[in-house]
């Protein structure tokens, strides 16, 4: 047996193939058994001989006389043709009967390069049909012992495989790997393992580090936006701190919701903490079949982010740094001429109220027509701004303040430094990286700075041939400073400038005290005493092991991770003084008179354990089998405490300890969950032609009631490589590869928040002064859901991949249908007397249909005898969701209803603007009004009497689909037809790339308080410059906007009802990134010790196009328009639309140096 057994193990033993010693031996022996010869060599060297006694005995006694002979020479003499032998890389010489065909091997050296001639490290060099192989060194070199007639297979992730006939050569230095044209040769990361793309049957899309290179981005999420079709990342505003939830393939659930599961190196993580430079690849598992091993948390897709692996060989040091200039992509343009603004204020007020105003926004400034006349005269005189003191001491201002200009810097600077060191050998390797990202803030007086640090150290140790231990440690820290006005965290600064800082007002009075408008807005910035500081730390460590047995056909892997995340928020409010009257003995104040400090500290400890085994083998060259199974267990414990207290001892207090007031509000929150699951995956492939994969997971979660905690979620997928069929006769030059895929799977949605199924009475803080105090309070709990079970997402996916024209053209496409069933939503809407929101239950079903298409073209041609290589990639993706079931028998469109398309917007059709005052009976609209006396006048918006009711009354009917009154569906707010284009080109060291991303169709109706409306909302608002000349007057009857009137219900001020006239198209195309760079020629840099040096220019968000701009011009970026929240604020009403933190455009200059 023994030898056979040994031979079976052989493949393991050559894993490190460092060639063979060239030791030489001199022997002079007569009539000895061969065993004696071997013993002599063993004594003098590292060679060890392995043989069966009976084989050697056949040789009988031999004579041997050699001088300075190598082992192969000696073996030839000893064994002749009677026996064969094989020298293994660890100096083991195995002798076997000749029929085993272990003939003498030659030592072959070679070098593998890419098409640019750069050495390729880590390429696999394998003897065809044998389990013998080595990997290349950092310089691309390899050494392998082969039969002179062998065929080598050279492969590497991302490159096309190459086969080379050895033909007795001992040096082959011209091996070139071309970048995988079809992509099918790639290996992509999938759940608990990797898969060759050619074998993929699910919908998996993957991008590499190129997405992140040379870009100045504060975090990973921002860089990924638009990069992967149907990985939808909608950032709420332009803040550098901003991340987004990861959505795959559109609407998930209208019940529990749910996002894609994001795993970093196999463990759930938050990409906003991740150093983008550390990322090697991002895989998105889109369909249920691919995500099934993650069970309930993968029900809406999985995003697998893999960090860079250490490079072996010579230690590599890489520095990349860039220095960026950032500015507003679009600066909000408001009227800054006070006379124009004031005239419009008066007009808006008068046209609604029918009276002349006496003050502007509750006495922020007093108004009189006299003042307006004086202001006009002053403007006509051509003299500059001034402030006068009236006889009663009141200040009267003649100013033209550009408040947005005061708020925003023209430009700010950001720098980003990243240093990584990587190296190792066959026993151990390491990768250490660190990053500093420092954003200077776009606000002027108290910049909103953001600084983040990242540190990663990972390494592995090959303890035994079969065991590798690894560790991956990550630390991240970020600090964000956010100033706000004296009105505190509830006030969006741009919105408050619009409503209380008028162009006519300066920030300062002549004696350098603040004006009232200044005090309500930027004075707190100037004082630097109203702000929040958010600090976050993340520490994460994963320790893991990988084993392999039986010729690497069987592997067991395991890891354990803990992640500790703490957040520390500090908020402070301090009053800001101002004067409206020069004679006042004491100031008035904006803000909280006593001052408030709020501190919040929370932490989450999360642990994850995985252990899984996999078996992979090919039988009879036809049957490929891979099986994987394992166990996962995770726990999470979150806890936070907060305290708020008023009455600051010092204005610059930085701790609640320096607050001494009696209003003390403590708070606490906590939540814990656990999840466990057993999972498996089976792959079968026949002749690389038919592929089958089965996945499943038995999943448990603490978030469900005891009897519902466990569920089993299987899935299946299959692929057919048409191009591998014998009958496929189409030339490979036309169609290089075609694969059809189909998958089906059904997963539970485990996104339910903990404790939903318990009847709980929360303890809150009452805001009422009762018995002289603020008391703890509790109240009736929400009615508990009954019969709770898992929501399910069932995805069917059809895919087609093909390559054409020798792989120059590649297509990947998927069409999917995802049915989310048993969604956990409020039950049938009950009559109001129920007294609570209807108990939730598994009442709703929804279908989401969508597709993704990626088309790429890669080619090169010669320019000045240098190759000009270029690549184009275009993606198009879409989804649309419809509600299949929702208990709403009357189909009230204020709620979901059967057949509803998600995002549909109900509103009125319009018939333009009244050109004459309508007769009172001709048009009756009690839903809203555009003036205080509810009379409709020329210039008002005319809502269409869509239902042609005889009484000419505009109604909402019963707000049901069957009786909508005059309402109808006027648009849809969901993004449709998202697309991207990427262009890369490279010539003679000069590289260029451009990345465009866009949305093909989307509607937006500006919300009530949106900056879009200007003085149509509140008459004292700042006036968007684009509205000048665009509103109805008798001389401007074709104007876009109606009669100039404040609190104009027709435009949505009250009883917010959208209409089609002011519905905005917010589709857009954005040039997200543009890069131009130059790789310095090796000849220039070789003497400096540099291996590689590049300089580049990179721009982010440098241009955008949208139909919205037709009216609003440069008023706001399309993303700022839609965005209507700032989650750093605690706003009670929507202030954001058009006022969200602006999108920034970035010009950055950077270098990348590799030593």
Partner 1 sequence: MCAGCEMDEPVITSTDKGAIFSSEEGLKAYSISFYDILPDATEQATVEQALVDYGATNTLSGFTLINSYSENNSSGWSWSALRNFNYFIVNNTNTAIAESVRNNYTGLARFFRAWFYYGMVRRFGDVPWIDHPLDPSEEEILYGTRDSRELVMEKVYEDLMFAAENITRTSDAAQSSLVTKWAAYAFASRVALFEGTFRKYHNLNLTTSAETWLKRAEDAAYKVMQESGKTLNSSYRRLFTSDVPPVSETIMAIASDANLGIKHNANWRWASETYGTGLNLIRPFVCTYLQKDGTPYTDRAGWAYEDFYEEFQNRDARLNASLRYPGYIREGNLALPVFSGYARLGYQPIKLSVDATVGDSRTESTQAVQLIRFGEVLLNYAEAKAEQGTLTDQDWANTIGALRERAGITGGLTSKPTVVDNYMKENYFPDINDPVILEIRRERAIELLFEGFRFDDLRRWKAGELFEKSWTGMYIPGVNQPLDVDHNGSDDVIYYTDDAGLAAAAALSNNPNPYKVKVSTNPNAEIIQVHPAGNGSGYYLAWFTNNDSKKVWGPKQYLYPIPVGAINLNPQLEQNPGWENGATNDGN
Q: Between residue 350 and residue 379, which ones bind partner 1 under the rule CB under 8 A?
A: 353-359, 361-364, 368, 370
Which of 511, 512, 832, 1034 touches partner 1 (CB under 8 A)?
832
3-state secondary structure at position 787: coil
Cβ closest to partner 1, residue 768 vs residue 862? 768
Residue with Cβ nearer partner 1 (75 or 596) = 596
Per-residue x/- marks for partner 1, 143-182, CB under 8 A?
A: ----------------------------------------
Size of site (CB under 8 A) for partner 1: 102
Q: 3-state SS of 523-556? A: HHHHHCCCEEEEEEEEEEEEEEEEEEECCCCEEE
Residues 955/965, Cβ–Cβ less than 8 Å? yes
Residue 649 in contact with partner 1, rule: CB under 8 A = no
Instruction: Name the one range near partner 1 by CB under 8 A: 50-58, 349-357, 619-627, 1094-1102.
Output: 349-357
Touching partner 1, residues 893-922 (CB under 8 A)? 894
Nearer Cβ to partner 1, position 462 or 885? 885
The single residue among 596, 846, 900, 902 that binds partner 1, judged by CB under 8 A, is 596
What span, in angstroms and rounded, lies between the C-alpha atoms of 28 and 26?
A: 7
Q: Which is nearer to partner 1, 731 or 1132 (CB)?
A: 1132
Q: For residue 469, give both structure tokens.
A: 């231990």
For residue 289, what are the CA distances in angstroms to 286, 305, 878?
8, 19, 20
The verdict on 790 binding partner 1 (CB under 8 A) reads: no
- Residue 802: helix, strand or coil by DSSP? strand
Pick the binder of partner 1 from 245, 609, 806, 871 (CB under 8 A): 609
Kindly tell me which residue out of 652, 657, 777, 1030 binds partner 1, with binding defined by CB under 8 A: 777
- Minimum separation from the CB atom of position 786 to partner 1 (A): 9
Q: Which is nearer to partner 1, 5 or 706 (CB)?
A: 706
**CA angle at 370 for the pair 368 and 376, rounded to the nearest 5°:** 110
Our finding on whether 779 is near partner 1 (CB under 8 A) is yes
Residue the block writes with tokens 């390491």: 430
In the numeric block, which tokens belong to residue 826? 């409020």
Q: Does 937 bind partner 1 (CB under 8 A)?
A: no
Residues 6+ apart with CB under 8 A from 377: none
Considering only 455, 457, 611, 855, the residue that binds partner 1 (CB under 8 A) is 611
Q: Is 862 in the site for partner 1 (CB under 8 A)?
A: no
The answer to the question of residue 380 lying near partner 1 (CB under 8 A) is: no
Using CB under 8 A as the binding rule, whether residue 646 contacts partner 1 is answered as: yes
Binding mask 686-705 for partner 1 (x = CB under 8 A): --------------xxx-x-
Candidate ranges 148-156, 215-223, 924-932, 1094-1102; the one touching partner 1 (CB under 8 A)? 924-932
Residue 124 near residue 156 (C-beta atoms within 8 A): yes
Residue 836 within binding range of partner 1, rule CB under 8 A: yes
Nearer residue to partner 1 within complex by CB, 167 or 669? 669
Q: Which of 900, 875, 909, 908 is nearest to 974 (CA)?
A: 900
For 895, the enclosing helix (H) or strand (E) is none
Residue 933 in the binding site for partner 1 (CB under 8 A): yes
Instruction: Report the run of H or E that residue 816 belongs to, with start and end.
Output: strand 809-826
Nearest approach in angstroms of CB 834 to partner 1 is: 5
Q: Which of residues 710-769 bind partner 1 (CB under 8 A)?
A: 710, 754-755, 758-763, 766-769
Find the binding residues for partner 1 in span 549-588 (CB under 8 A). Answer: 588
Evaluate whether 636 touches 604 at the Cβ level (below 8 Å): yes
494 phi, psi to nearest 5 deg:
-65, -40
Which tokens is 830 given?
Answer: 């009950």
Nearest C-alpha neighbor of 858 from the set 987, 736, 733, 985: 985
Q: Tell me the closest approach of the beta carbon of residue 898 to partner 1, in angstroms.
A: 17
Whole-number Å distance between alpha carbons of 178 and 113: 9
Enumerate the β-bridge partners of residue 413.
325
Q: Which residues contact 30 (CB under 8 A, 6 or more apart)?
A: 63, 64
In the complex, least distance from residue 380 CB atom to partner 1, rounded to whole angstroms: 19
Burial status of residue 733 (CB atoms within 10 A of its CB: 0-12, 13-18, 19 or more): exposed
Site for partner 1 in 98-127 (CB under 8 A): none
Q: Could you give the maximum distance between any two Cα atoms of the chain, in Å?
A: 131
| β-strands 171-177, 106-114 pairing | parallel
Strand partners, 431: 422, 458
- Min dist CB 365 to partner 1, Å, is 11
Minimal distance, residue 1023 CB to partner 1, in Å: 18
Is residue 321 left, alpha or beta, with left meaning phi > 0 and alpha meaning psi from -120 to 50?
beta
- The nearer residue to partner 1, 306 or 500, going by C-beta atoms, is 500
Which CB sits closer to partner 1, 589 or 811?
589
**Contacts for 382 with CB less than 8 Å, ≥ 6 apart:** none
Residue selected from 593, 687, 990, 1103 as contacting partner 1 according to rule CB under 8 A: 593
Contact criterion met (CB below 8 Å) for 921 and 979: no
The helix (H) or strand (E) run that includes residue 145 is strand 141-146
Q: Give the interface segment with partner 1, choosing from 124-132, 388-396, 445-453, 490-498 (CB under 8 A).
A: 388-396
Distance between CA 652 and CA 453 in Å, rounded?
A: 27
Q: What residues from 437 to 476 belong to the interface with partner 1 (CB under 8 A)?
A: none
CA dist list (Å): 1047 to 497, 1004, 1014, 1016: 18, 20, 10, 6
Query: Which stretches within 45-195 are classed as H helix?
Result: 53-57, 71-79
Bridge partners, residue 698, by sequence:
678, 712
Of 361 and 530, nearer to partner 1 (C-beta) is: 361
With binding defined as CB under 8 A, does residue 829 bind partner 1?
yes
DSSP E strands in 170-312: the ranges are 171-177, 187-190, 193-196, 204-208, 231-232, 247-248, 261-264, 267-268, 279-285, 302-307
Choose the stretch contacting partner 1; rule: CB under 8 A; options: 71-79, 472-480, 685-693, 832-840. Answer: 832-840
Is there binding between residue 670 and partner 1 (CB under 8 A)?
yes
Q: Does 18 bind partner 1 (CB under 8 A)?
A: no
In the complex, minimum distance from the CB of residue 832 to partner 1, in angstroms, rounded to a whole number:
5
Torsional sign, CA 501, 503, 507, 508: negative
Min dist. Cβ of residue 646 to partner 1 (A): 5
Residue whose token pair is 């810097």: 409
Stretch that binds partner 1, among 292-300, 433-441, 672-680, 1132-1140 (CB under 8 A): 672-680
Residues 955-974 that bind partner 1 (CB under 8 A): 955-956, 958-960
138 is an interface residue for partner 1 by CB under 8 A: no
Q: Is 833 in the site for partner 1 (CB under 8 A)?
A: yes
- Member of 21, 781, 912, 1107 binding partner 1 (CB under 8 A): 781
How many other CB atoms sit within 10 Å of the CB of residue 770? 9
By the rule CB under 8 A, 827 interacts with partner 1: yes
Total residue length of the chain: 1155
Report the residue number, 361 or 433, with the smaller CB distance to partner 1: 361
Distance in Å, CB of 595 to partner 1, minimum = 10
Shortest distance in whole angstroms from residue 391 CB to partner 1: 5
Does residue 835 interact with partner 1 by CB under 8 A?
Answer: yes
Q: Which is nearer to partner 1, 257 or 827 (CB)?
A: 827
Q: Which of residues 1048-1087 bind partner 1 (CB under 8 A)?
A: 1055
Instruction: Tell which positions 224-253 bind partner 1, by CB under 8 A.
Output: none
234, 686, 712, 834: residue in contact with partner 1 (rule CB under 8 A): 834
Closest among 479, 483, 457 to 470, alpha carbons compared? 457
């Amino acid at each position: 047996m023994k030898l056979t057994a040994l031979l079976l193990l052989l493949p393991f033993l050559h894993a490190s193939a460092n060639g063979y010693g060239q030791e030489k031996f001199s022997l002079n022996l007569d009539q000895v058994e061969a065993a004696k010869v071997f013993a002599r060599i063993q004594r003098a060297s590292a060679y060890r001989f392995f043989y069966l006694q009976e084989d050697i005995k056949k040789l009988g006694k031999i004579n041997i006389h050699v001088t300075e002979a190598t082992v192969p020479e000696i073996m030839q003499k000893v064994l002749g043709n009677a026996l064969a032998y094989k020298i293994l890389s660890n100096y083991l010489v195995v002798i076997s009967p000749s029929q085993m065909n272990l003939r003498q091997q030659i030592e072959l050296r070679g070098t593998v390069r890419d098409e640019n001639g750069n050495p390729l490290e880590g390429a696999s060099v394998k003897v065809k049909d044998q389990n013998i192989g080595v990997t290349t060194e950092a310089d691309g070199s390899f050494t392998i012992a082969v039969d002179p007639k062998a065929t080598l297979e050279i492969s590497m992730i991302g490159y096309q495989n190459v086969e080379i006939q050895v033909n007795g050569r001992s040096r082959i230095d011209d091996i070139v790997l071309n970048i995988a044209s079809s992509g099918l040769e790639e290996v992509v990361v999938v759940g608990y393992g990797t898969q060759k793309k050619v074998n993929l049957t699910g919908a998996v899309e993957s991008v590499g580090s190129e997405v992140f290179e040379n870009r100045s981005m504060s975090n990973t999420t921002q860089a990924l936006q638009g990069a992967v079709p149907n990985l939808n990342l909608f950032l709420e505003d332009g803040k550098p701190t901003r991340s987004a939830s990861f959505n795959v393939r559109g609407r998930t659930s209208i019940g529990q919701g749910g996002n894609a599961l994001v795993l970093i190196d196999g463990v759930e993580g938050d990409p906003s903490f991740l150093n983008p430079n550390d990322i090697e690849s991002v895989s998105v598992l889109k369909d249920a079949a691919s995500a099934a091993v993650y069970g309930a948390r993968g029900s809406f897709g999985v995003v697998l982010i893999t960090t860079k692996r250490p490079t072996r060989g010579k230690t590599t040091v890489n520095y990349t740094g860039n220095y960026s200039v950032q500015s507003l992509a679009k600066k909000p343009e408001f009227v800054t001429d006070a006379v124009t603004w004031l005239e419009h204020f008066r007009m808006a007020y008068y046209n609604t109220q029918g009276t002349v105003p006496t003050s502007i926004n509750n006495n922020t400034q007093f108004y009189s027509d006299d003042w307006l006349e004086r202001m006009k005269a002053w403007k006509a005189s051509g003299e500059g701004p001034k402030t006068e003191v009236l006889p009663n001491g009141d200040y009267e201002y003649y100013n033209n303040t550009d408040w947005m200009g005061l708020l925003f810097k023209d430009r700010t600077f950001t720098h980003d430094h990243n240093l990584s060191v990587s190296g190792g050998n066959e026993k151990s390797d390491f990768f250490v990286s660190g990053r500093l990202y420092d954003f200077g803030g776009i606000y002027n007086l108290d910049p909103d700075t953001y600084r983040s640090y990242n540190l990663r150290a990972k390494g592995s140790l090959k303890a035994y041939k079969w065991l590798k231990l690894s560790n991956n440690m990550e630390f991240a820290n970020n600090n964000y400073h956010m100033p706000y006005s004296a009105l505190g965290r509830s006030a969006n600064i741009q919105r408050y400038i619009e409503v209380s800082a008028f162009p006519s007002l300066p920030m300062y009075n002549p004696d350098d005290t603040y004006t009232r408008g200044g005090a309500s807005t930027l004075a707190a910035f100037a004082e630097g005493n109203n702000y929040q500081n958010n600090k976050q730390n993340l520490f994460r460590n994963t320790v893991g092991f990988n084993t392999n047995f039986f010729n690497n056909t069987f592997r067991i892997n395991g890891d354990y991770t803990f992640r500790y995340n703490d957040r520390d928020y500090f908020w402070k409010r301090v009053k800001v003084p101002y004067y409206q009257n020069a004679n006042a003995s004491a100031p008035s104040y904006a803000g909280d008179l006593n001052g408030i400090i709020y501190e919040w500290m929370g932490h989450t400890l999360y642990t994850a354990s995985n252990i899984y085994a996999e078996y992979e083998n090919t039988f009879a060259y036809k049957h490929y089998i891979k099986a994987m199974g394992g166990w996962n267990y995770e726990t999470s414990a979150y806890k936070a405490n907060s305290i708020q207290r008023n009455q600051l001892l010092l204005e610059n207090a930085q701790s609640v300890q320096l607050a001494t007031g009696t209003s003390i509000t403590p708070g606490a929150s906590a939540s814990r969950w656990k999840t466990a699951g057993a999972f498996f995956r089976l792959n079968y492939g026949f002749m690389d032609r038919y592929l089958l994969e089965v996945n499943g997971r038995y999943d448990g979660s603490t978030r469900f009631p005891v009897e519902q905690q466990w569920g089993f979620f299987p899935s299946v997928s299959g692929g057919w490589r048409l191009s591998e069929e014998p009958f496929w006769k189409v030339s490979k030059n036309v169609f290089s590869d075609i694969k059809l895929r189909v998958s089906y799977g059904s997963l539970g949605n485990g996104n339910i928040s903990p404790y939903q199924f318990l009847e709980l009475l929360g303890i809150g803080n009452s805001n009422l002064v009762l018995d002289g105090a603020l008391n703890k309070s509790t109240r009736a709990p929400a009615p508990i859901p009954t019969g709770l079970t898992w929501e399910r997402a069932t995805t069917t996916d059809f895919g087609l991949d093909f390559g054409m024209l020798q792989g120059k053209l590649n297509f990947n496409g998927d069409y999917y249908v995802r049915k989310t069933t048993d969604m956990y939503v409020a039950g049938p809407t009950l009559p109001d007397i129920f007294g609570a929101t209807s108990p939730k239950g598994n009442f709703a079903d929804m279908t989401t249909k969508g597709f993704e298409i990626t088309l790429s073209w890669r080619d090169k041609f010669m320019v000045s005898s240098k190759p000009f290589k270029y690549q184009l990639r275009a993606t198009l993706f879409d989804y649309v969701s419809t509600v299949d079931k929702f208990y709403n028998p009357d189909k009230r469109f204020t709620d979901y209803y059967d057949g509803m398309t998600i995002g549909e917007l109900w509103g009125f059709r319009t018939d333009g603007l009244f050109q004459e005052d309508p007769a009172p009976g001709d048009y009756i609209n009690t839903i809203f009004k555009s003036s205080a006396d509810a009379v409709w006048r020329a210039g008002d918006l005319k809502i269409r009497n869509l239902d042609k009711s005889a009484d000419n009354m505009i109604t909402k009917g019963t707000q049901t689909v069957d009786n909508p009154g005059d309402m109808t569906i006027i648009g849809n707010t969901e993004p449709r037809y998202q697309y991207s284009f990427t262009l890369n080109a490279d010539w003679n060291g000069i590289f260029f790339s451009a990345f465009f991303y866009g949305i093909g169709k989307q509607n937006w109706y500006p919300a009530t308080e949106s900056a879009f409306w200007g003085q149509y909302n509140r008459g004292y608002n700042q006036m968007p410059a684009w509205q000048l000349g665009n509103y109805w007057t008798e001389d401007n009857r074709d104007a876009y906007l109606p009669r100039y009137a404040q609190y104009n219900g027709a435009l949505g001020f009250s009883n917010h009802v959208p209409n089609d006239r002011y519905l905005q198209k917010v589709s857009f195309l954005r040039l997200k990134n543009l890069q131009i760079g130059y790789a310095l020629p090796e000849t220039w840099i070789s003497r400096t010790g540099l291996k590689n040096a590049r300089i580049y220019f990179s721009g982010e968000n440098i241009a955008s196009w949208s139909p919205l701009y037709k009216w609003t011009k440069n008023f706001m970026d399309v993303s700022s328009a839609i965005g209507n929240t700032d989650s750093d604020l605690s706003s009670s009403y929507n202030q954001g639309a058009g006022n969200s933190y602006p999108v920034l455009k970035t010009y950055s200059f950077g270098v990348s140096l590799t030593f």
